[in-house]
């Protein structure tokens, strides 16, 4: 099997894609306030929408959210394409966040441009061919 050369995505491109993806996530959250006004579960509702959006799109054939597609990047997983890696990657973003964003800053300082959540889940974000 011929191994293709992967071009790893840096912090700025990933941040750009993430910010693009926040637009529909916040739109869905805003729209949900008409259904669940003053529910007191805003963070839970945001989490369900955010993780559902990211996991759903990254498990699709695109392997990327619309923001990642605009940035021409996608999430690469191992040859077996274990969907649990995508789910784990997204849930581990909480851990990267709780470390005062250190899990994301790690992206800047390693060759494969992996965040802590990527290391733990066995994923990498690469440019589309």
Q: Which domain holds residue 102?
A: 11-127
Task: Confirm whether 35 is domain-assigned.
Answer: yes
Comparing 43 with 26, which gets the higher pLDDT? Answer: 26
- Give me the number of domains the chain comprises: 1
User: 49: Cβ–Cβ under 8 A, 6 or more apart, which residues?
Assistant: 25, 28, 29, 32
Instruction: Give the pLDDT score at 72.
Output: 97
Compute the average pLDDT of residues 37-63: 90
Q: Tell whether the model's pLDDT for residue 99 goes beyond 90.
A: yes
In a domain, 104, yes or no: yes
Mean pLDDT in the chain?
A: 91
Q: Assign 5 a pLDDT band (cuts: 50, 70, 90).
A: confident
pLDDT at 1: 43
Q: Tell me how far apart the alpha carbons of residues 108 and 10 are, in angstroms, rounded to a whole number.
A: 7
What mean pLDDT is predicted for residues 98-127? 95
Determine how many CB atoms are found less than 10 A away from the CB of residue 14. Answer: 19
First-last CA distance in the chain: 18
CA distance 84 to 95: 17
Is the overall model pTM greater than 0.75, yes or no? Answer: yes
Does 6 fall in a domain?
A: no
Place of tokens 């066995």: 122
Asked whether residue 70 is assigned to any structural domain, the reply reads yes
Residue 2 lies in a domain: no
Is the pLDDT assigned to residue 66 strictly greater than 60? yes
Nearest 10 degrees: CA dihedral of 83, 10, 24, 99? 80
In a domain, 3, yes or no: no
Helix (H) or strand (E) holding 29: helix 11-32
């Amino acid at each position: 099997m011929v191994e293709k050369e992967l071009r790893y995505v840096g912090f700025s491109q990933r941040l750009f894609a993430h910010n693009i993806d926040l637009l529909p996530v916040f739109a869905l959250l805003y729209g949900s306030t008409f259904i669940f006004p003053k529910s007191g579960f805003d963070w839970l509702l945001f989490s369900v929408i955010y993780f559902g959006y990211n996991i759903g799109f990254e498990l699709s054939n695109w392997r990327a959210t619309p923001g990642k597609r605009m940035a021409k990047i996608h999430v690469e997983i191992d040859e077996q394409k274990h969907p649990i890696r995508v789910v784990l990657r997204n849930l581990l973003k909480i851990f990267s966040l709780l470390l005062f964003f250190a899990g994301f800053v790690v992206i800047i300082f390693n060759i494969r441009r992996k965040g802590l959540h990527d290391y733990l889940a066995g994923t990498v974000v690469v440019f589309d061919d």
